[in-house]
Structure 1
Amino acid sequence: MTVMIMQKTSSTQSRKHTDNRTVKHNLLSSVIVTSLLITSFIAQAEDSSFEEAWQYVDLYKNEQGDYFKLSGRLQLDSAWNDAEQGEFNDTSWRRFRFGFKGKIGELTGALEADINLNKSFSDSYNRLTDANLSWAMDDRTKLTFLKHSAGFTMDGKTSSKKLLTPQRNNLTNNLWFTAEYFTGVSVKGKLNDGWTYNTGVFSSDDSDEIGFSDTSYFALFSVSKTLSKSSLWEQGLVSVDYVYNDTHEAGNTRDFSQVISFSSKFKSNKWHLDSDFSYGKGDLGQSDVIGFVIMPYYQQSKSIQWVSRYTYLNSKNENGVRLARYESSVTSGRGDNYQEIYAGVNWLANGHKFKIQAGVQYSTMNDKANDGGEYGGWGVNLALRTYW
């Protein structure tokens, strides 16, 4: 019996040792590949012919400003997480979208499909993201209808094409409606003295294409103010987002009846400071959640950004907070208090149109209910992002 136990223990330790070596090997390989790509990208960033390659997506354009062009994005992720609760590592296609955009006179249109490159071709189609028409009512006001992005919170209203970190912060992940694209109508425009607004009503239908029939609706109102230059900042922007959600069990939204977000962006020389303070009023069993994000970053050059971030979330009741994307692959439970510290660097070869992002984070989740949501560990994320 003793011999069998020793053999089993030895076998278990051997598997763990092999798993650790595999994780380290995958991580080292990712770092080496990324380093080689970075060296190439920095050189290409200085080459104007590399940027000119994006002109080939323009299929037609005229002197009046009408155009017809290809659109899309391609994103690759390599993630490694090592926590007290377990490990996760994976390399996969994060997003692939492809479609068209066009403009005739005051009308613009977009049609774009979301495709999963991790599946076989026959099963790769997910849904339509953009499927909309817009009308420029005047030079300051635009009306958009059918399926388009409903953005709120700091990262929720930032396209995945232009995020400063590989993944959106976990405050946005918890409060924002991560399906992002909904069928509805919205109006955005510019007012006097640096004020802008964006307001709309959307169906919470979870249709893969355009859908109105099922579930209910939510309304979005956002207002922003560009601040005058001061001794503390060269550029400043403050925003307020408010969402009223008629929650429904079958709705394709988070279970919050109201969400309010106060966000800001400040710039002084090469330093930037972005922040978000948000609150969600829970419904359908979801607890109220409150939290904030502070994200300072330094624009070293046209091609290099250094980014840091601190995230804090707290729920009124147990199991009100979700873990972030790759953390939830280690343990899928929920908790009540979440904190994260992130540091990373972005290499931009053609602005955000072609970039590599690398970051490391340490995050924790408390779980008063003690039912599988506790988390504490490190994560590394390497990402390739391009769009056209």
Structure 2
Amino acid sequence: MTAHVEEVLFEERRSLSGPSVGVITLNVEKTLNSLTLNMVELMLLKLREWRERSDIACVFIHGSGQKALCAGGDVQALYKSSVEQLGGPCEYAEAFFEQEYRVDYLLHQFDKPVIVWGHGIVMGGGMGVFAAGSYRVVTEKTRLAMPEITIGLYPDVGGSYFLNRMPGHTGLFLALTGASFNAADAVYLGLAEGFVEHQYSGEVLNALTETVWSTGVAENHERVFDLMATFVARSKAALPEGNVEAAASEIAELCSADDDLGVINNIIAAQSENPWVQKAAATLASGSPLSARLIAEQIRRCNGLSLKAAFQAEMLLSTAIIRQPEFAEGVRALLIDKDRNPAWQHSSPVDVPQDLIEQHFTAPWAENPLGDL
């Protein structure tokens, strides 16, 4: 009989000065800590509790094992929900999106310091948790991406907000191509506060419990930054070389077309001497043409929106996508049958009808489930 494993662990480590450090461990190592509905529901309850308690000074989030903070949402469960209730409502999937976005939004809005240890794979839903931290740590093994183009989805979990805040057109490029990037890239993109070698993770956690916490939240944020600065200084020599900044002018040129189709076609047709750009272009070329159009549209529509409005827009688009067949086909090809040969609905982005795009941005319900964010 297999022992039951808690999918997410919560611990309160009492500090020397009295208040505790709330520790969240994503604990499904075999699925690279991918998020389930149960996990996000438990996280939401605990984070709401910790937010109100004066004896919790800060929150530290990490993943179990050495491979990932979190590789995304449990896509196979979303697939099952989509195919079993095609046309919707897809109850599990839609509940998952709602609770996941509530967790991410709460983390973004959390007044106490939230340290997120982004070691290993940080993708999809993992990026949502990571991006929401107030001190986001990247390590020598960090590999970040929003690769939803490969499964007929789009970069959600707040991506509509934070991708729009990256330098130049880098956010749009990363969204369309699903290109992976590393610690140096994350710092350049404004997605990480500090690079710290993973060997120091235990020391960082111990140092947080040895901190003399203040009753003032602003002072506690300063204490976290001061504490982390010592570990950042120790780690400088191990910072890997990035890819995004070196490709920034090329990305700007590829994304300078007048309309979405022009940008998508420019990237697909890119003849770059940079292997990272070439790989990114190939991923877009083989990805869902419908997703490519929806990604470009979503990024544009959400530019300048508040975080709350961006999450509400994502709830709408995610619901529309999960009720349609493209996502299920993408997951089938990549993760279920693993033939890597998806039968996309359209042969190229230009073939996607405008009315289908509009349909995805039309609310499928009378009231947005995130209307009360």
* TM-score > 0.5 by shorter chain: no
Query: Relative to total residues, which structure has the larger strand share, 1 or 2?
Result: 1
Give 1 or 2 for the bigger CA radius of gyration.
1
Higher RCO, Cα 8 Å, sep 6+: 2
Q: Give TM-score, length-normalised by structure 2.
A: 0.28
Q: Give TM-score, length-normalised by structure 1.
A: 0.27
Query: Relative to total residues, which structure has the larger helix share, 1 or 2?
Result: 2
